Amino acid sequence: MRFRIVIFTFCFVLSCARVAAVPPSTRVVFFGDSITEIGVRQGGYIQRMQTILSERGLSDRFELMGAGVSGDKIYDLYLRLEDDVFARNPQVVVVWVGVNDVWHKQIHNTGTDAVKFKRFYVALIRKLQARNMRVILVTPMGVGEKRNLANPLDQELDQYSALIRDLAVQYHCDLVDMRAAFLKYVGSHNPLDRESGILTYDRVHPNDTGNQFVANEMLRVLLR
């Protein structure tokens, strides 16, 4: 009888040890605009990231969640931070915003000037870091795919991207420099200097190739 009790106790302790040895998955919230909103759909960059993680045997390590809203700018993200991020209690938040802050100045006469953009972005980072969350910043990709900075908004997109790079350094955030990667890719894959069709289907939103491109760039930083 004592022997059975000893064996039972040993098996129970061993079972508990195995459960304890399995680390909990890291919850990652992707916080952004329409690019992120469609990123959770079939073929979107978030869905593709999950597929890659599964292929590498890492699907149990990460729980990927999208929190994108079409048309959002930096102040929209700040205003819905509580409901769309904090309520989900993630360990990692990927902030990808900026294209509408620039683009909508042209198409809707709205947008966000650089001074206000920085102020809201800093406030957003501070709130996230106050909750001990790992913050990953992402520079905007582009509005148009012509090479050699020939797109009308390239100069301003570079300005906002530089601002985000500086904030990543100042606040010790990880950085996915999507802008730099995008420019390098279209520079070598767009010999006909097309406005779209390389990484985007409409100059802004990723096509199939673009979603895979984004997924690879995101994972490279997430898995550091």
- E strands, 62-204, are 62-68, 92-96, 134-138, 174-176
Structure tokens at 86: 């904090």
DSSP-derived secondary structure letter, 135: E
Phi/psi at 52 (5° precision) = -65, -45
Does residue 4 fall inside a structural domain?
A: no
Please report whether residue 9 resides in a domain: no
Tell me, yes or no, whether 6 lies in a domain: no
- Which residues face 174 on adjacent strands? 136
**18 within domain boundaries:** no
Tell me how many domains the chain contains.
Answer: 1
pLDDT tens string for the chain (224 positions)?
A: 554 544 444 444 444 444 344 457 999 999 999 999 999 999 999 999 999 999 999 999 999 999 999 999 999 999 999 999 999 999 999 999 999 999 999 888 899 999 999 999 999 999 999 999 999 999 999 999 999 999 999 999 999 999 999 999 999 999 999 999 999 999 999 999 999 999 999 999 999 999 999 999 999 999 99
The answer to the question of residue 11 being in a domain is: no
Boundaries of domain holding 99: 24-222
CATH number at residue 216: 3.40.50.1110
Indicate whether 145 belongs to any domain: yes
Q: How many CA atoms lie within 13 A of 82 on its CB side?
A: 1
CA dihedral 69, 61, 135, 50 (to 10 degrees): -30
Please give the pLDDT value at position 24: 75
Tell me if 84 is assigned to some domain.
yes
Closest CA to 39 of 60, 9, 8, 70: 70
**Among candidates 96, 77, 90, 97, which has minimal Cα distance to 28?**
90
Contact assessment for residue 36 and residue 30, using Cβ atoms and an 8 Å cutoff: yes
CB contact at 8 A, 117 and 98: yes
Pairing of strands 62-68, 92-96: unpaired
User: DSSP 3-state assignment of 163?
Assistant: helix
Residue 14 within a domain: no
* Structural contact between residues 149 and 109, judged by C-beta atoms closer than 8 angstroms: no
Per-residue pLDDT at 23: 57
